[in-house]
Structure 1
Amino acid sequence: MTFHDDEPEPTARPARPEHPAQRPGYEPVERLLRPTPYDPGMRRPATTVAGAALVLLGALVGLATIVDLLVHWREYAGTIEIELDGVTLDPEMIDASLWIVVAGVALSAAVQLVCSLLILRGHNIARVLVMTVSAISISAAFASWWARDQEITLRTTLPSLAVDILVLLALSSRSAAAYARRNQKR
């Protein structure tokens, strides 16, 4: 391709402007280990609100599960009998198992509700506890997929796995960590 004096030269694409707010894809260890700034007047970041909202959503799902269990328990118990190769279960044992399962789900929902409120208030222990449980849940889903070929679908573990990943991403952000540690003395 030749250019004549009267034709303008093609210009190269302009370079992207530098975005100082963007972080690189990798960071030196010194920067990663640098403590978060101490700012008691820090406003609640969106990541903390999102993480607490997702934990609250988990608590609401727990309450919906309790309602579903109470309404459909006999169906579920019939399914359990079929899976046990026709072994008949004592009706009292079926009713007792219902209340044990409901108590477990209710306890889990109550803990999630309390953790959600504590995260909103900026308690670091609740944030770390929720992140730890989410990491264990993600690891358990992976282990069951790997070891037992359990499918991860919309009808099985995909929704809870997605919520756990979002909770972990939101609450492990620098802004959520800084907010949770804003009152710690250094």
Structure 2
Amino acid sequence: MYKAPSKEVTDTRLDHVFFVLGGAAAVWLAFLLVGESFQLGWGQVWFYVVFWAFLAYLLLPRLHRILTTIYVPGYFIGRARTSDGLLGDPVNVALLGTEPQIHAIMRAAGWTKADDVTLGSSRRIISSTIFKRSYPEAPVSPLHLFDRQQDFAYQQEVDSNPGKRHHVRFWRCPEGWMLPGGHKVDWLAAGTYDRSVGLSLFTLQITHKIEQNTDVERDHIVRTVTAAEPAVSVHVIEDFSTGYHSRNGGGDSISTDGDLPIIDARQVPVPADQPTAQTDSRDRRPAPTMMGAALVVVRAVAALSLAVTLLTSSGELADITLGDAPADPQSTTAAVTFVAIIVLVFGLGEVFLAWRIFLGSNAARVIAMALSSVSIIVQAIDASTGATSITLEAGLAGLATDILVLLALSSQRARVYAKRQRVPAVPPTLTTRRA
């Protein structure tokens, strides 16, 4: 008997379609931008900065994400992933204990909790790095494990320079999950040392470059924690993972002996004023969601502006439309007004849609992606048949907005945030497998 696909399966397939379509549309936009660069000449430096930003932060990450979905294993292999799906830093520390106990041992060891990545914190770390000003709580870029970014991170700044720092990211393990070999742990962590700032080898993004020998940072974490808290004990799993350790997501070489220390903090007393609420990164509104909502607002503003123009100029448009034709001016004015009202309603609907996306509505996210997809496909058909020509002066801004909406809202972080209530406790692709 035929069984209809579940709503969850249908949503996943639809997300895959939007994801791939966003990648194809980004490639098309890149070709259009290259074509415009020949028209503008070499004097327009701003245009090449925009093109680099598009290439480094949108096109290459999406292409990497599509390819890594195919060839990178979906189960745990001892590596975190970047937002682009590339293999990131090695997971080199495991922990036992509650979240308050983890916070207690890290603070006692002299580590500072890193700020979340926001517009304000991003702006501050850029200025602090350029002018070499101290920023002890500087944010760290998101890495993913268990299909979500780190729950929190800690760091130690070196020489009051945010470009150099010890840092470690923490992920809470899913309920009932075990390490390969059957070891039960509550947390996994990835610790590395940032030695400088440079360009990613794979995406051309500005990023921190890490020290190659990640074991030095792993041992530094264990040493500082055990020295500060006598109640902590450590057990080491030797030769836990040695495969897939060549380069991280930024292209930096990494090496390790594969040992995995398990820090047991279950006997550590927790201060009475320590918050007990659990941190879950899926509850934090990600940048792609906010960006997608903002771009939908931009689209709404464009529609509302057009509606106002039509309403205030309907008489003049009627005269232009009529010319020498024997048409009724009142009928033409009424038609223009009707179109303006439709555009006005659409613009107001887009404002509501943007608000719902910002709040985390998955339905609103899907509707916005569908509208962008239809618009992109229609413009692609018109361009391929020669009906329209997309240039910087005509059509490129609107097309770019639709493509950016699709890229932002089809990203993994936006998808996980919109579906966070439906994410299973133990992702099926992360079932422990023995080597």
Q: CA RMSD in A?
A: 2.6
Shift of 1:107: 1.4
Is 1:73 paired with 2:311? no
Is 1:144 paired with 2:382? yes
Amino acid at match of 1:62: A
Shift of 1:106: 1.1
Is 1:50 paired with 2:291? yes
Shift of 1:93: 0.6
Amino acid at match of 1:75: E
Partner of 2:305 in structure 1? Answer: 64
Partner of 2:431 in structure 1? Answer: none
Q: Distance in 1 between matches of 2:351 and 2:63?
A: 36
Query: What whole-Å deviation, never above 9, does each CA across 1:12-53 have from its counterpart, x for those lacking one?
Result: xxxxxxxxxx99922244649xx9559586200011001000
Is 1:113 paired with 2:351? yes
Correspondent of 2:405 among 167, 170, 177: 167
Is the 1:44–1:179 Cα contact (8 Å) retained in structure 2?
yes
Is the 1:40–1:183 Cα contact (8 Å) retained in structure 2?
no
CA spacing shift, 1:70–1:88, aligned 2, 3 Å: same
Q: Distance in 1 between matches of 2:411 and 2:62?
A: 13
When the two structures are superposed, what TM-score results if normalisation uses the length of structure 2?
Answer: 0.34
Runs of at least 5 residues in structure 2 that lack an aligned partner in the other structure: 1-60, 75-84, 86-145, 149-173, 175-279, 425-435
Q: Distance in 2 between matches of 1:92 and 1:28?
A: 58
Shift of 1:137: 0.3
Runs of at least 5 residues in structure 1 that lack an aligned partner in the other structure: 1-21
CA spacing shift, 1:103–1:70, aligned 2, 3 Å: closer
Q: Is the deviation greater in 22-31 or in 38-47? A: 22-31
Alignment of 1:122-141 (within 5 A): 122-141=360-379
Shift of 1:103: 1.4
Q: Distance in 1 between matches of 2:378 and 2:420?
A: 32
CA spacing shift, 1:151–1:173, aligned 2, 3 Å: same
* More strand by percentage: 2
CA spacing shift, 1:155–1:87, aligned 2, 3 Å: farther
Amino acid at match of 1:45: P
CA spacing shift, 1:167–1:24, aligned 2, 3 Å: closer
Query: What whole-Å deviation, never above 9, does each CA across 1:78-135 have from its counterpart, x for those lacking one?
Result: 33234xxx32321221221122111110111121011100000000011011101101
Identity %: 34
Which of 1 and 2 has higher RCO (CA within 8 Å, sep 6+)? Answer: 1
Q: Is the deviation greater in 101-110 or in 22-31? A: 22-31
Is the 1:127–1:171 Cα contact (8 Å) retained in structure 2?
yes
Q: Distance in 1 between matches of 2:63 and 2:368?
A: 27
